[in-house]
Structure 1
Amino acid sequence: MEPAFQLSVAATAGIVLVGARLKDMFSERLPVFIAAPLALAVSSQLFVTPVLLPLAEGVTLYSIPANILAGPLLPLVTVPGTLAAVLSTTAPWFSTGLLWLAGLPGSGIAMIGYAAASLPQALAPWPEGLTGWVLAAVYTAAAIALCRMVIDFRSRPRTGEKLLLGSAVGVLAAVVVPLGALPIPLIGQSPPEGWRLALCDVGQGDMLVVRTGEHAAIVVDAGEEPELAEACLSTLAVDQVEILMITHDHLDHYGGIPGVAEAAMIEEIVYSGDAGWSVVEAVEAQDGTVLQVPESRGRVGQSQDQEGAYPVTWQVWAAADYHSNTNDNSLVVHFGLWDPETAAGAVGSANDPLRLLTLGDLEEEIAGLLLGRNALPNVVDVLKVSHHGAANGGTAVLKHASPSVALIGVGEDNDYGHPSDAVVDTLNDLGAATYRTDEHGTVGFILSEEKFTPVPLE
């Protein structure tokens, strides 16, 4: 059965079974123009949630208010749209006008959906495996008890029903409250199965994790706060960092290394930055942490294949040490990720991998020189935007790469104005799906069946 049909059946069942009763109950305390759409949204959401959990892999927190806002626009779409379909063969010129009119409220519904999806915790993670199924069963049982109480609202709820409802409230509170903001994972939370890439929320800093094994990864930068870097790797269940790549010698890119070392064994460090700078020496000078890890400067053209269940290739495209602005000495790396089970020829297959470009804090002038020398990759699917989306990163690389997905590591309410409006507007114009840690927190991505799917981890 198609998911859309399942959702339609579930929503209709909710409206038919408890919608009218909920409207009567809400009308006792609310004006009817609020009670009616609220009852419609709540009754449908109550029944579609058990269907949505395995599809969305999380709880959509803003569905009810979004549906209430979008509800008045729906008839303005369906009525002229249906009439246009009827008249399309006999009066196509008239049906075109009707469809154009229907498009205006349709755009309004889309804007409401996009706005709700961009809010913090828009998709709160739901635990996977046995824990997730048990909690879903508690939710479903509580929903049934609530429906019985609504239908026969004159009867007093039984003790068992009170217990179920209390359990359901506790379950939703545990999942919905953004505990991911704390340096501990949610109880029962585990990384999404098959995740390949994660943008870590480390405040005003950068940290990207590229999976290479069951509990192994390449880490690009580590932010500034060790506890946040450690929390991200713990959430991802990464205990082996095959390569730690540090793009340059700014604290918001290497300050979190002690946390990485606490969470995982670091096998090797590849870095760039000013001439004479050493990652190991900088970390020891910072807080006394001694890293017994071999380190080496990245070299343009340096490459490696990471084979296994989560294959990755990478190549260094820039690693200068002579620019006066250390941002321009950033390590620029082009990754290729693929799924061994994806059919040949499809994006994400061995012969057409998903391409990720990480730019460090590369600024506009040097980026322009690299573009002029054709010294940056031409094929980019996912772009880690330079310098937290700062204006000095420019937009030329964005337009050259034209990524489908853009990643921005940036602190909430930062004092730098990151990301800049010019960068955000350019990414929107390019049609890129942009994920920002200040708005979306830590985000994991799954690559399968030609899809690159985001999964919030906070």
Structure 2
Amino acid sequence: MTPPTVQTLSTGEARLHDTVPPGQWRLIAPALAGWGVCAWMIVTAGAAPWVTSVAAGVGGVLMGMAFWRGGRWRSTWLVLVLGCALVVLLGGRVASVEHERHEPSFVRAAEAAERITLEVTLANFPRSAAGAFDASRTWVRAHASGATGDVPLLLFLDGTPEASWAPGAGLSVTGVLTRSPVGDPAAYTMRVSGFENMAQNAPGMQIQERVKSEFGRFAAGLRTGLSNAAAQIDGAELVPGFAVGDTTLVSEQLDAAMLESSLTHLTAVSGANCALVTGAIMWLLARAGAGRRVRIVGAASSLAAFVAIVGPDSSVQRAAVMATVLLASGFGGKRASSLPALGAAVALLLVIDPWQALQAGFALSVVATGGILLLATPISRWLRRRARLPQLLALPVAVAVAAQLACGPFLLLLQPGLPAVGVLANVLAAPAAPLGTGLGLIALSLLPISPPLAHAALIGASVPARWVAATAEVTSTVPLARWFWPEGWPGALLLAGCQFGLLIAWALHRGHLSLPGGVRAPRRQPWKAAEPPAQTLRVATWVVASASIGVFVAVTVITPASERWTTPADWTIVACDVGQGDAVLVRDPAVPDQVMLVDTGDDELKLRACLERFGVNRIALLVLSHDDRDHVGALSSIITRVDAAIISPEPRQPGDEERGAERKVVRQLHASRVPVTIGEAGLTGELLKATDSQVSAAPSKGLSWEVLAPRAGVIPADTNSASVVLMVDAGGTRMLLLGDTGHAEQQELLARIEQLEADVIKVSHHGSRDQDQGLPARARAEWALVSVGADNGYGHPSGDTLAALARAGTRTLRTDFFGSIALSPGDTSLRPWVEREAQPDVGPHP
């Protein structure tokens, strides 16, 4: 979601009436059509030359018709000609970039998977990979020169890059190239094994390249200085994000809260930041007595400098181009129009980089801006007149609602569910974000001049930053913060249909749309009583609105309720479907409030959905079997619910220095004040708690557990061999949880422990081939649970592993086939429940 655009913020309210002024669509319509054609050309190899030829021919015919037989339709013909001209430009650019991306030497190197050395130029600032457990891995976009032109690359490297890395910096990198999908902005990815900074003033370097490199280093120094200064101030971790989009100080827990509350756009520099920069410069120049054109030139210069410091991301480019169009139109003395400016921004950015047509960030930026321009004013007006909200509150509410309505269907393509709390969070954060951004930019400007004054500005910026952080943390934990809605294209189309239905009903009610036959709601006339609409119009409006609202309520309320009703309440073990990862819930049904969670998986939304479905609000004991991301990646989403945790010993090779205090999982648990115990063989415990419902019931055995591996005093060779292996007894049901142990660890376990019989076995490492085939026969379990992602690229689960389980008489349930799986105590054996039926070729339902 993108904040208001330049004009919206500078004027206080978008200057749009209920009816869009004439001519506003003459630029945005061709831009949107060109966007769609551009996306199709990219995913259809070889189509660009043909589309370019056809568009050129059609455009010539339309231009002739416009001038020879145009008449009153001439403007329409010219709009079509403009669309064809844009398609010709985009087709030529796509064909040119495709030629550059197919550089023969790069293709050969990627196919051979050979290590090569390239001289590259960085295209943006380096960023840390998403997730607390990959924070030491960074990526940066770059391009390398080839015989056919510049080839876009995505570089991955371990560790933290040098502070001088900035757009325009030259590097010599060594690594292995991998071909990227056709729609990816980078033609190749490279895992960098070595790099060397190139000389900044090499003899062959052109003057403009030297200037760009020097300014890049200056901008990198400013960004680094702001981040270092903010790190010394409590509560200022969001300030670099407000000012320049640098989120390196934001913790994983706060980042997850920002994402859940739809506030991440506040730390992604876009239109609001550009508006603040240009507005502030124009105000200062106006106070100094400068004329209109001087103010515009000054604002444009400051905008260019700001974009260079922030980095050329798509959202920043879109906002900067749109602001430039607005400033240019104002320079000529014409009234600036935001909707045509958006169209010009879309067209220009696609011509510069056609591959943005397939990028989610670009789409969300454009859609959010368009939604604000078209809907913010009427919504704000309605809130003032009907809800009696003051202008100070009505405008941020209207902007948040407009952006949410516009982006809702597109957000479903990125994550499931509707962020219902997003509007509230954005309204609460609206007053603080601009203040924090402005003070952050002031601190950035003062750093080279007066560090003490910059420090004071950062202290001031930390106050609104704390407010935004508190808003994110509180709203993200509000009950029903995210409503159920189907994900992917089906969910997006369904939501768009509901919104479109309500829009149609509103248009019928207000008389903007008529029924077939010309039946239209009468317009209100001054000094006259409103005429009642026709019966057929009232019925049609009611039917369309009721159908849209009915579908929305059915999906958001009735579907989740029915799922809860069909979910067993007496479960004892649950394998949550979290994709290619592990997350297992264990409890004694007689003590339902004492729950053990073994691992978290890597999908926060799926984990929270599983906990909600099975009624888990608190986690008495969290066991993190080992530190791999597919087992601990979603920790931040549930860490506030955890009472205590057991983690694996730290794996390290002999001779390595002690790093225990630096383990990211340890730091995160300690930051949330969760007691931590290292899980080693011999460690035991139990979860017992009497509740009111148990007073008259039979005594419960509760839940007890014992750590079987790894052995104390043994340094594991890697994370998988460090896996905590548990034997859990929950109300008489025995469960063997194997983590990600391999053949060697399982063989040692079989030799050391005689009693491994269990009712349920959680198969190790998603059912990989690296198993001891004799373990299932020793365990003699009734059920085996395999937590594995659908269509994973690892071949999990292995046929050999499944065959060994079958020979032992153990029935296997897989999350990729059945979704989340629950086992409940039955009369004579455990009773299975699955989230969905398996496909016919998978085997019979258990």
Return the TM-score normalized by structure 1.
0.53
Correspondence for 1:297: 678
1:148-159 equivalent positions in 2, closer than 5 A: none
1:15-30 equivalent positions in 2, closer than 5 A: none
Show CA shifts across 1:22-59 (max 9, x none): xxxxxxxxxxxxxxxxxxxxxxxxxxxxxxxxxxxxxx
1:225-264 equivalent positions in 2, closer than 5 A: 225-261=603-639
Instruction: Tell me, in whole angstroms, the C-alpha distance in 1 between the residues paired with 2:773 and 2:559.
Output: 36
Correspondence for 1:362: 741
For 2:682, what is the secondary structure of its paired residue?
Answer: coil
Q: Indicate conservation of the 8 Å contact 2:594/2:687, yes or no.
A: no
User: Please, what is the CA RMSD of the aligned residues?
Assistant: 3.0
Instruction: Tell me, in whole angstroms, the C-alpha distance in 1 between the residues paired with 2:747 and 2:741.
Output: 10
Correspondence for 2:584: 208
Correspondence for 1:61: none
Shift of 1:387: 0.6
Correspondence for 2:383: none
Correspondence for 2:816: 438
The count of residues paired between Structure 1 and Structure 2 equals: 263
Deviates more, 1:308-317 or 1:190-199: 308-317
For 2:561, what is the secondary structure of its paired residue?
Answer: coil
Instruction: Tell me, in whole angstroms, the C-alpha distance in 2 between the residues paired with 1:203 and 1:279.
Output: 30
For 1:391, what is the secondary structure of its paired residue?
Answer: coil
Correspondence for 2:720: 327
For 2:569, what is the secondary structure of its paired residue?
Answer: coil
Correspondence for 2:788: 410
Shift of 1:399: 2.3
Correspondence for 1:153: none
Q: Indicate conservation of the 8 Å contact 1:244/1:270, yes or no.
A: yes
Q: Indicate conservation of the 8 Å contact 1:249/1:277, yes or no.
A: no
Instruction: Tell me, in whole angstroms, the C-alpha distance in 1 between the residues paired with 2:644 and 2:662.
Output: 11
For 1:329, what is the secondary structure of its paired residue?
Answer: coil
Q: Indicate conservation of the 8 Å contact 1:328/1:362, yes or no.
A: yes
1:74-93 equivalent positions in 2, closer than 5 A: none
Shift of 1:396: 2.3
Cα 1:236/1:330, change in 2 over 3 Å:
same
**Identity across matched positions, percent:** 30
1:30-429 equivalent positions in 2, closer than 5 A: 186-190=560-564, 191-212=567-588, 213-261=591-639, 265-275=641-651, 281-283=663-665, 290-307=671-688, 308=690, 311-320=702-711, 322-338=715-731, 353-373=732-752, 375=753, 377-429=755-807
Task: State the one-letter code of the partner of 1:366.
Answer: E
Task: State the one-letter code of the partner of 1:431.
Answer: G
Task: State the one-letter code of the partner of 1:332.
Answer: V
> 5+ unaligned residues in a row in structure 1: which ranges?
1-169, 339-352
User: Is the radius of gyration larger for structure 1 or structure 2?
Assistant: 2
Deviates more, 1:430-439 or 1:288-297: 288-297
Task: State the one-letter code of the partner of 1:296.
Answer: T
Task: State the one-letter code of the partner of 1:301.
Answer: G
For 1:209, what is the secondary structure of its paired residue?
Answer: strand
Cα 1:420/1:261, change in 2 over 3 Å:
same
Q: Indicate conservation of the 8 Å contact 1:195/1:445, yes or no.
A: yes
For 2:627, what is the secondary structure of its paired residue?
Answer: coil
For 1:439, what is the secondary structure of its paired residue?
Answer: helix
Show CA shifts across 1:252-310 (max 9, x none): 11111122236xx2000101142467699524879x99422111101321212222466
Shift of 1:329: 1.3
Cα 1:225/1:432, change in 2 over 3 Å:
same
Task: State the one-letter code of the partner of 2:788.
Answer: V
Task: State the one-letter code of the partner of 1:297.
Answer: I
Task: State the one-letter code of the partner of 1:187.
Answer: A
Instruction: Tell me, in whole angstroms, the C-alpha distance in 2 between the residues paired with 1:389 and 1:239.
Output: 30
Large movers: runs of 4+ above 4 Å: 275-281, 283-286
Shift of 1:334: 0.3
Q: Indicate conservation of the 8 Å contact 1:249/1:273, yes or no.
A: no
Higher strand share: 1
Q: Indicate conservation of the 8 Å contact 1:225/1:256, yes or no.
A: yes
Cα 1:259/1:279, change in 2 over 3 Å:
farther
Q: Indicate conservation of the 8 Å contact 2:626/2:722, yes or no.
A: yes
Q: Indicate conservation of the 8 Å contact 1:258/1:289, yes or no.
A: no
Q: Indicate conservation of the 8 Å contact 2:576/2:584, yes or no.
A: yes
Shift of 1:332: 0.6
Instruction: Tell me, in whole angstroms, the C-alpha distance in 1 between the residues paired with 2:661 and 2:800.
Output: 33
Correspondence for 1:451: 829
